[in-house]
A = this chain, B = another copy of it.
Amino acid sequence: MSDSDARIQRFAEFLARSGLKTTRQRDRIVRAFFAAGRHVSAEELYHRLQTEDRGIGLVTVYRTLKLLREAGLATGRQFGDTYTRFDPNPADRPHDHLICTRCGKIQEFEDASLHAVREKAARSLGFTVTEHKLELYGFCRECTRLAGGRPVRSGKAARPV
């Protein structure tokens, strides 16, 4: 059973447990989502789906992504642009991000020592931490070279708001 299949199964279980139904649309959206990689928006997913099934509305894509979040199978992220991007859970790959504010590139990374930071903060303040988001904003290698590290207002690239 592929990685993706396992998650699709978990989603089916979530639906059953919640008294919800399995439909052609949900099935296709969920498959497309797990096949899509990372940082997809609802709109992007919707467009990909149009090639295989014209009868899937953008609204249903939004609804299904919301269910995926409730099932704990997806996380939404906002990187400084106006829309939400979605990532599959669980974090089988690094989940922290470097965002270039000049060209908009998003690079993933992971640092094990972050868990120490997380635990320490949680313990000292009595929190139970279930999830974290770390974003580093700045310039990627190319943009550091091109711009000498100085900001360029492009209007396109994500901003750290």
> How many A residues, CB 8 Å from partner?
44
> Residue A126 at the B interface, CB < 8 A?
yes
Contacts of A100 in B (CB 8 A): 127
Assembly CA distance A159 to B131 (angstroms): 11
Partner of A84 from B107, B125, B161 at Cβ < 8 Å = B161
Report yes or no: A121 in contact with B136, Cβ–Cβ below 8 A.
Answer: yes
> Residue A96 at the B interface, CB < 8 A?
yes
Contacts of A114 in B (CB 8 A): 114, 117
> Residue A40 at the B interface, CB < 8 A?
no
Type the 1/0 row for A128-150, where 1 means its CB is closer than 8 Å to any CB of B: 11111111111111001000010
Copies in the complex: 2
Contacts of A127 in B (CB 8 A): 98, 100, 107, 136, 138-141, 144
User: Which of A4-12, A43-51, A72-80 is the interface stretch?
Assistant: A72-80
Report yes or no: B137 in contact with A134, Cβ–Cβ below 8 A.
Answer: no
Using CB atoms and an 8 Å cutoff, list the residues of chain A in contact with chain B. 69, 75-78, 84, 96, 98, 100-101, 107, 109, 111, 113-114, 116-118, 120-122, 124-141, 144, 149, 159-161
19 contacts between A and B (CB under 8 A): A69-B161, A75-B160, A76-B160, A78-B78, A100-B127, A107-B127, A109-B121, A109-B124, A111-B121, A113-B113, A125-B140, A127-B138, A127-B140, A128-B144, A129-B136, A130-B138, A131-B136, A131-B160, A133-B134
